Amino acid sequence: MIILKFGGTSVEDAHAMRNVIGIIERERNRHPLVVVSAIAGTTNALLKSARVSLDGNLDEAYQILNDLLERHVSLAENLLDNRQAIQQLILSFKRHIDDLKNLCRGIAILGELTNRSLDAIASVGERLSSLILCEALNQFQLPSVLVDARSFLITDDHFALATPLFNKIEEKARAVITPQLAAGYIVVTQGFIGATQKGTTTTLGRGGSDYSAAIIGSVLEAEEIQIWTDVDGVLTADPRIAPAAQKLKIISFREASELAYFGAKVLHPSTILPAVKKNIPVVVLNSKRPTSTGTLIVASPPKSRVAVKSIASKTGITVVNIQSTRMLMAYGFLQSIFAVFGKYKTAVDLVSTSEVAVSLTIDTTTHIEAITAELEEFADVSVLEKKAIVCIVGEQMHSTV
């Protein structure tokens, strides 16, 4: 069994969907499970509808939702021939959009937008795209069944950035998915979304469809996880910055994790860990050029004579400088610093220390004022915003220094 994950640009229109169907047909003898994202731009539009509802602009929210309905109807009509199937899809789309309008109305009336509501709204994009893809596969004589990710991808209740509960997921996935694969069906499910043990919809954070694919691959012990996107694989640099960037044929899990964490958009940062634990190869491929070989990510690639594999960059970084003469030889000083960041659930990216100072970087400034105030109780603190990190990645660099 293999996992095929398709990103938003891979299913953005009828032509893209046909490419996807061709890829799935090519892999049908490997018992594929398909993980699909929302069509490109849908999640952003859904979140915007929620935000403008909070501002009381219901007419704008409804127009956004009507535009999304029209886009999905158009995709279905351009892709499918069976008029009855199209009408059934349109009815399903309208039910989802009506539910969203009710949610937006509630947000406007209450003047409140919780992460729980955001997850309910943001999840609809994947639910719509998966309906279309599953119907299309069946129409193209590829027997398929749609399995709602919320029936097996169980998470905690940390809405907007939920943590998967792997033991629960494995139990549910083997009960819900394995029999369908054994019966010869292609299983289609949604990326990005899950549910609490009580059945409330959650999401894994933006870009979480890659993570979903890796989670499912891990619990079902897939032989391979394919991440289909709109680039030829993992590149030596961001092609928007370095047009001459080249594709990497093979990299290690560690190199891929570093690149994902430090700004390479081709993979979600959490994708690699589940694959590492089960030693499942991950392949990054281009659905626009399905014959391209992509990039293979494995635990132990052949040693390379090239020390530097790739360069990644991350913008919008905040640097926090912490200085104290009391730090010299002080037991527990670093622990005190990290306890403050931990208290406010703020992740630290990089850390540099000297005898009397610590510099570190963070992604989010949501709680920066409170963090700074607590740090200033025992140190001098300065904050530098809108900075960037440049990361050089390569397994062999340690042997060249």
How many independent structural domains does the chain possess? 2
Report CA torsion sign: 181, 27, 34, 226. Answer: positive
Considering the domain architecture, whether residues 223 and 322 belong to the same structural domain is answered as: no
Considering the domain architecture, whether residues 101 and 172 belong to the same structural domain is answered as: yes
Considering the domain architecture, whether residues 367 and 228 belong to the same structural domain is answered as: no
What does the alpha-carbon distance between residue 390 and residue 349 come to, in Å, rounded to a whole number? 12
End-to-end CA separation in angstroms for the chain? 42
Considering the domain architecture, whether residues 14 and 76 belong to the same structural domain is answered as: yes
Sheet of strand 186-190: strand arrangement: 144-146, 186-190, 32-36, 2-6, 224-229, 282-286, 295-298, 250-252
Q: Which of residues 275, 298, 321 is at a domain's end?
A: 298
Give the pLDDT score at 399.
Answer: 45
For the chain, the 3-state helix, strand and coil shares in percent, each to the nearest 5, are 45, 20, 35
Q: Which of residues 298, 331, 346 is at a domain's end?
A: 298
With respect to residue 215, please indicate whether it lies within any of the assigned structural domains.
Answer: yes
Considering the domain architecture, whether residues 26 and 61 belong to the same structural domain is answered as: yes
Give the pLDDT score at 398.
Answer: 58
With respect to residue 333, please indicate whether it lies within any of the assigned structural domains.
Answer: yes
Q: Would you tell me how many other CB atoms lie within 10 Å of the CB of residue 352?
A: 11
Query: Could you give phi then psi for residue 73, rounded to 5 degrees?
Result: -65, -45
What does the alpha-carbon distance between residue 153 and residue 168 come to, in Å, rounded to a whole number? 8
Considering the entire predicted model, what is its pTM?
0.87
Considering the domain architecture, whether residues 292 and 365 belong to the same structural domain is answered as: no
Considering the domain architecture, whether residues 45 and 145 belong to the same structural domain is answered as: yes
With respect to residue 303, please indicate whether it lies within any of the assigned structural domains.
Answer: no
With respect to residue 304, please indicate whether it lies within any of the assigned structural domains.
Answer: no
Considering the domain architecture, whether residues 335 and 390 belong to the same structural domain is answered as: yes
Considering the domain architecture, whether residues 268 and 121 belong to the same structural domain is answered as: yes
Considering the domain architecture, whether residues 349 and 264 belong to the same structural domain is answered as: no
With respect to residue 57, please indicate whether it lies within any of the assigned structural domains.
Answer: yes
Considering the domain architecture, whether residues 354 and 284 belong to the same structural domain is answered as: no
Considering the domain architecture, whether residues 247 and 218 belong to the same structural domain is answered as: yes
Tell me, what CATH number does 217's domain have?
Answer: 3.40.1160.10
Give the pLDDT score at 54.
Answer: 98
Give the pLDDT score at 220.
Answer: 98
Q: Which of residues 242, 274, 298 is at a domain's end?
A: 298
CA-only gyration radius of the chain, Å: 23
Digit-by-digit pLDDT tens for the chain (401 residues) are 999 999 999 999 999 999 999 999 999 999 999 999 999 999 999 999 999 999 999 999 999 999 999 999 999 999 999 999 999 999 999 999 999 999 999 999 999 999 999 999 999 999 999 999 999 999 999 999 999 999 999 999 999 999 999 999 999 999 999 999 999 999 999 999 999 999 999 999 877 999 999 999 999 999 999 999 998 998 888 888 888 989 999 998 888 888 877 766 778 767 888 988 899 999 999 999 999 999 999 988 887 777 788 888 888 899 999 998 776 556 788 889 999 999 998 989 889 888 778 999 998 888 999 999 999 998 999 999 999 988 888 876 654 44
Domain of 336?
A: 310-399
Q: Would you tell me how many other CB atoms lie within 10 Å of the CB of residue 77?
A: 14
Tell me, what CATH number does 391's domain have?
Answer: 3.30.70.260
